[in-house]
Amino acid sequence: MSCYMQKITDDKNLDMKNIILLLLLLAGGGSMAVAQGKLTEEKRKEFEAQKVAFFTQELDLSPSEAAVFWPLYNEMRKKRREIEGQMRKGANEVNKASALAEEKYAEAIGKKLAWEDELQKIKKEYYQRMTGILPASKVWRLGEAERKFQRQLFEKLCCNSAVKK
């Protein structure tokens, strides 16, 4: 049984700080914060270095491929984070409001769908650009590399939380 599964079965009450950190890491990438404030610059750099190493290995990028991939990937992530931030802000506004009219919910749904369309357009644009500079097989593996990295990060946070308790 993985450390993640062991943690879930042993203790369903994860440390809230770690849960918040995980959600922010997964949603925000480089612009992370925790309940007590910003992560240190050192921790952010460490996280980014681990991400670069992991993706470079998973995608089997040569040094020349990595040199063209990373600026493009980071540009895509920045655009996606901006849209994701708007989505979170919009969802928070709706969730915090009490007794909204049905028209406001319909309007919020329309905005959410528009943001999701925008995220898809960004992904399409950057995947097309990436296939112009990398073999398509490596671009294909990008989504799986992102999921594996997030899963690995989640397991690391869960296991670290289990050790602290």
Per-position DSSP letters for 131-151, written without gaps between them = HTTS-HHHHHTHHHHHHHHHH
pLDDT band at 35 (very low <50, low <70, confident <90, very high): very low
Q: Is the pTM of this model over 0.75?
A: no
pLDDT at residue 42, rounded to an integer? 87
With CA atoms as reference, report the closest residue to 161 among 50, 28, 33, 11: 11
pLDDT at residue 164, rounded to an integer? 55
Q: Which two tokens stand for residue 123?
A: 């992904």
pLDDT at residue 119, rounded to an integer? 97
Task: Give pLDDT tens digits for 65-116.
Answer: 999 999 999 999 999 999 999 999 999 999 998 888 999 999 999 999 999 9
Among residues of the chain, what percentage have pLDDT more than 70?
73
Cα separation, 106 vs 108, whole angstroms? 5
pLDDT at residue 44, rounded to an integer? 83
Q: Which two tokens stand for residue 40?
A: 């240190």
> What does the domain layout of the chain look like in residue ranges?
1-59+145-165, 62-140
Q: Give the residue-averaged pLDDT of 142-165.
A: 82
With CA atoms as reference, report the closest residue to 76 among 111, 114, 127: 127
The count of other CB atoms within 10 Å of the CB of residue 139 is 19
Asked if residue 17 has pLDDT above 60, the reply is: no
